[in-house]
Structure 1
Amino acid sequence: MSGHRVIITQRFFHQGAIDYLRQHGCEPHIAPLPTGQADGKLSHDHLCDLLAGAKGWVVGHARVTEALITALPDLEVISRRGVGYDRVDTAAAARHGRVVCIASGGNDASVADHAIAMMLALGRRFRESQRNMAGGDWSILQGHDLYGKTVGIVGLGRIGQSLVKRLSGFDARIFTPAGWCDAGYARAHNIECVEMDTLLAESDYISLHAPLTDETRFLIDEKALRRMKESACLINTARGGLVDDRALLAALKSGQIAGAGLDTFVSEGDPTYADVSKELIALDNVIASPHAAASSVEGLERTNMIAARCVVDVLEGRTPPAECVVADGRTNAPYRAQTT
């Protein structure tokens, strides 16, 4: 392999991963992105121009459609710096002989840490307290401990399991939906497999770590929010489409639930929800971040290296680790489902 062009449409791609690609005969190029804009906003034509002649692509949130794949005949491997791949047409990639990889195992700790941080910030009312202090009001707002609370985790993939480890230090009672439950893992970690109605009704915090599919879209809708306790908080560090943000906004404004920690929003994929996102972010009982849960320095370095290694493996004729491969058109191997 010599001089294979690899395009990186991501910020914060660290020098170690760039060096790794170069050491293995690749020519990495970091695409210039407009200030404040991720690759998910790039048009089909813009992506075609950036990726012309590329053998490898390290991608963030761009939509990888069949039309795009067809327009890039030289592209052999699409490597996501992340674990979700709902924006990649994996079936089309397999049909066209391409390989699609994810950075499995790279950001589990970072996202789980972020979810815990959101729970603590909401429970102890950090946002409200600092706003009040900035205005000269130093009166104490009573908050709530995470210690001893009931946490419903929807999705026990790598990130969900990392969250379980952290919650053990808070002596939390953990629920997971019975239909999603690995009984052996649950027994080993004192997790209770319950009906979704029970999880919604009894959890103090509900943390979402599920993939976005037709079945999980708007999993948390108006009906689900009505089942939650008024003192409960919802955490979403997975995918925006798991939650009906309009219903969530109404629930938060009416006091139907106590708060929400949101790292991702429906508006990321549907601009008609932009005003809803703005209203959510402005609420005192919302802790928000711009899809940044995985973006710690350490987490990005880990996922950068996994993404780079997957590119090199494919271009050198090898198969990346099984947990990283979601489509492999070289062998017509079926792609598999991946939870976050």
Structure 2
Amino acid sequence: MSVNKRVVVVTPKFFDAATIGFLESQGCSVVLAMLPNGKSDAAATEEELIAVLAEADAWIVGHANVTSSLLQALPRLKVIARRGVGYERVDVDAACRSGKVVTIAAGGNEESVADRTLGLMLATAHRFRESQQQLIDGPGSILIGHDLYGKTVGLVGLGRIAQHVVKRLRGFETTLLVSTPRPTFAYGKAMNIEYVELDALLQRSDFVSLHAPLTPATKHLVDATGLARMKRSAFLINTARGGLVDDRALLEALNEGRIAGAGLDVFESESDPGLAWVTNELVRLPNVIATPHSGASTHEGLQRTNLVAANCVVSVLGGEEPPPGCQVFSSTYSAS
């Protein structure tokens, strides 16, 4: 299927040659955007994005803020394909009003983020950071950590990533608690899950792992009150979205020893720069393992997600039904 050399501009980094080849084989002209000073698209200004997108028919986007004013400045643009599953940085309503199509790329990074989740559980419990610092600083006592094996793990949310986490945790013979507004009881029975309310999950879990979307209803889902319900020996893991946790309350709880540690891939400061100081203090704590929202950033995960986003672009520009994983938001689009 050809789309007659439609221009596809790619602003996220790490876009692989195989996916570029796929787009070109479908009649697309691929432009890897060079943003000033090597910026990520998340850090680019609206003027910088307009400059690289002026001739684009399709935009494969990473973490840029896609605003109404930006969309109005790009009349040629037809499709915005997120390389990822969240769309809170995209003004979907504005895109729909302007006749543009927004897609997300589900199914590409789930395995990678599930791996990161387990990695953070193990790294915090086994005190990897503190133990390595002992070796760097010189002779010191051996630090005693905790097993993940046999512990109670509470998952907040049960979407695709959380279900991959469930599969991995079964190998550790954990007790699994899940808090979700939409429990699937057949799945729960098959995977030996106990569905509980959030308060009970926080009180009972040795590890609390967040897998919910960020919405007005879930903002600060884990706040000072929730942290106070957790065991002093418990670990909080967040690979989902900054804002699900009140990071200031988390910093206070960690400083006061009210929970044992945290493994964080996301932070409130990603959407609120005024909280950068909180992130800076969190990542310096010895009992925090932190990564920069990179849970999906493996070679394999990015290649999978690149290809899903590319398939979204090709399908929408060609007026065809998008393949599985390409969730579409549009007021007008329908496959021919």
Q: TM-score range by the shorter chain?
A: over 0.9
- 1:96 is matched with 98
Give 1:37 shift.
3.7
Give 1:180 shift.
3.8
- 2:273 is matched with 271
Instruction: For residue 42 of structure 2, give the secondary structure of its aligned residue in structure 1.
Output: helix
Give 1:330 shift.
2.5
Distance 1:35 1:188, change over 3 A: farther
Matched letter for residue 311 of structure 1: V
- Gap runs ≥5 in structure 1: 334-340
Distance 1:267 1:244, change over 3 A: same
Q: Which moved more, 1:75-84 or 1:108-117?
A: 75-84
Distance 1:210 1:194, change over 3 A: same
Distance 1:275 1:304, change over 3 A: same
Give 1:89 shift.
1.5
- CA deviation profile, 1:203-258 (whole Å, cap 9, x unmatched): 11111111110000111111111111101111111110111111110111110111
Q: Distance in 2 between matches of 1:264 and 1:326?
A: 25
C-alpha contact (below 8 Å) 2:105/2:327 kept by paired residues: no
Q: Distance in 2 between matches of 1:243 and 1:132?
A: 30
C-alpha contact (below 8 Å) 1:7/1:56 kept by paired residues: yes
- Gap runs ≥5 in structure 2: none
Q: Distance in 2 between matches of 1:143 and 1:180?
A: 35
C-alpha contact (below 8 Å) 1:8/1:58 kept by paired residues: yes
Matched letter for residue 53 of structure 2: L
Matched letter for residue 28 of structure 1: V
Matched letter for residue 163 of structure 1: V
**Misfit runs of 4+, over 4 Å:** none
Distance 1:271 1:175, change over 3 A: same
Matched letter for residue 176 of structure 1: V
Distance 1:70 1:304, change over 3 A: same
Matched letter for residue 234 of structure 1: L
- 2:20 is matched with 18
Give 1:331 shift.
3.6
Q: Distance in 2 between matches of 1:306 and 1:34?
A: 27
Give the counterpart of 1:204 among 203, 206, 209.
206
- 2:197 is matched with 195
Q: Distance in 1 between matches of 2:121 and 2:294?
A: 16
Q: Which moved more, 1:322-331 or 1:2-11?
A: 322-331
- How do residues 53-92 of structure 1 correspond to structure 2 at under 5 angstroms? 53-92=55-94
Distance 1:80 1:147, change over 3 A: same
Instruction: For residue 235 of structure 1, give the secondary structure of its aligned residue in structure 2.
Output: strand
Q: Distance in 2 between matches of 1:245 and 1:109?
A: 26
C-alpha contact (below 8 Å) 1:119/1:235 kept by paired residues: yes
Give 1:326 shift.
3.5
- CA deviation profile, 1:306-335 (whole Å, cap 9, x unmatched): 1111111111111213542230233489xx
Q: CA RMSD in A?
A: 1.5
Using structure 2 for the length normalisation, give the TM-score.
Answer: 0.96
- 1:129 is matched with 131
- How do residues 160-199 of structure 1 correspond to structure 2 at under 5 angstroms? 160-177=162-179, 179-199=181-201
Q: Distance in 1 between matches of 2:324 and 2:147?
A: 40
- CA deviation profile, 1:16-51 (whole Å, cap 9, x unmatched): 011111111111111124567421121222111111
- CA deviation profile, 1:166-211 (whole Å, cap 9, x unmatched): 0000011111115342222212211111111100001111111111
- 1:226 is matched with 228
Q: Distance in 1 between matches of 2:244 and 2:36?
A: 28
- 1:337 is matched with none
Using structure 1 for the length normalisation, give the TM-score.
Answer: 0.94
Q: Distance in 2 between matches of 1:20 and 1:62?
A: 24
- CA deviation profile, 1:97-138 (whole Å, cap 9, x unmatched): 221111111001000000000000001001000001111124
Distance 1:121 1:236, change over 3 A: same
Matched letter for residue 309 of structure 2: A
Matched letter for residue 18 of structure 1: I
Matched letter for residue 253 of structure 1: N
Give 1:3 shift.
1.8
Q: Distance in 1 between matches of 2:254 and 2:113?
A: 24
Q: Distance in 1 between matches of 2:52 and 2:274?
A: 28
C-alpha contact (below 8 Å) 2:81/2:104 kept by paired residues: yes
Instruction: For residue 29 of structure 1, give the secondary structure of its aligned residue in structure 2.
Output: strand
Give the counterpart of 1:319 among 305, 312, 321.
321
Greater relative CO, 1 or 2 (CA 8 Å, sep 6+): 1
The answer to whether structure 1 residue 4 and structure 2 residue 6 are counterparts is yes
Between the two proteins, the alignment pairs up a number of residues equal to 333
- How do residues 45-56 of structure 1 correspond to structure 2 at under 5 angstroms? 45-56=47-58
Matched letter for residue 286 of structure 2: D
Q: Which moved more, 1:25-34 or 1:198-207?
A: 25-34
